[in-house]
Amino acid sequence: MHTELPKILEDVVNAFTRLPGIGRRTALRMALAQLKKSREETRLMAQALLTLAEQVKFCRICRNISDHEICSICSHPKRDRTLICIVEDIRDIIAIENTGQYNGLYHVLGGIISPVEGISPSHLNIESLLQRLQDNEATEIIMALNATMEGDTTVFYLYRKLQAFNIKISTIARGVSVGSELENADETTLGRSIINRLPYENVFKK
């Protein structure tokens, strides 16, 4: 796209291209589609975005995005409180919930360790996890992070941190995609790998 757009359109296209996976061509298509909608519809959409930014809440316990102080999973009376599954973000929770094979709680890290992308452990919800384990009935932590090198780094980092607690640490089979690779995640495989989770072994220490 070499032709200059009218500024009013250019601004919207620029805003959309900041979203992951959206190039200029798609952004322009989205902007034009939005223009065809009623003004009221656009107002509602803009309002939803604004509300998300201004009023987003994170569950006080698991740090998942939530409408309330405590999310519906953490406040559910039937969930098994001895299990905590560590995930990167809400997409992983959706994927694991969809398998119907897991009845424990979660803890959302909010990312994985990657200095290249400017993410260090202090940016992640690790302190809150350690806090949570201080006064909690959890007996097992299940690591469900993606099988990338960064995922491995994060799992290993947490493993070292969790040595201070008398707690069982297990992991889903490596090579199984979780929610942040949702398009590759296969429910049956993911479900099975949670049931047949393995005790975490430090593969690096030789």
**Residue pointed to by tokens 């049931």:** 195
Out of 22, 136, 140, 156, which residue is the one contacting another protein (CB under 8 A)? 156
When the beta carbons of 80 and 181 are compared against another protein, the nearer one is 181
Q: What is the dihedral of CA 46, 52, 54, 58, to 10 degrees?
A: 180
Q: Of 56-64, 87-95, 112-120, 170-178, which part binds another protein (CB under 8 A)? A: 112-120
Collapsing DSSP to helix, strand or coil, 10 comes out as: helix
Which residues partner with 3 through β-bridges?
A: none
When the beta carbons of 18 and 206 are compared against another protein, the nearer one is 206
Question: Exposed, middle or buried: residue 124 (CB in 10 Å: 0-12, 13-18, 19+)?
Answer: buried
Helices 127-134 and 149-162 pack at an angle, to 10 degrees, of: 40
CA–CA dist 189, 68 (Å, integer): 32
Write each residue from 2 to 41 as x if it is in contact with Zn ion (CB under 5 A), else as -, in one continuous string: ----------------------------------------
Interaction of residue 206 with another protein, rule CB under 8 A: yes
Residue 150 tokens, joined: 């960064």
Residue 149 binds: one of another protein, Zn ion, none (C-beta under 5 to 8 A by kind):
another protein
When the beta carbons of 62 and 176 are compared against Zn ion, the nearer one is 62
Interaction of residue 93 with Zn ion, rule CB under 5 A: no
Question: Exposed, middle or buried: residue 7 (CB in 10 Å: 0-12, 13-18, 19+)?
Answer: exposed
Residue 206 binds: one of Zn ion, another protein, none (C-beta under 5 to 8 A by kind):
another protein
Residue 89 binds: one of Zn ion, another protein, none (C-beta under 5 to 8 A by kind):
none
Which residues partner with 65 through β-bridges?
A: 58
- β-pairing, 140-143 with 80-87? parallel
Residue 62 binds: one of Zn ion, another protein, none (C-beta under 5 to 8 A by kind):
Zn ion
- DSSP assigned state of 113: -
Interaction of residue 96 with Zn ion, rule CB under 5 A: no
- Residue ranges in 47-86 that form contacts with Zn ion under rule CB under 5 A: 59, 61-62, 64, 71, 74
Residue numbers at the binding site for another protein (CB under 8 A): 113-116, 120-121, 149-150, 152-153, 156-157, 160-161, 203-206
Q: Which residues bind Zn ion (CB under 5 A)?
A: 59, 61-62, 64, 71, 74
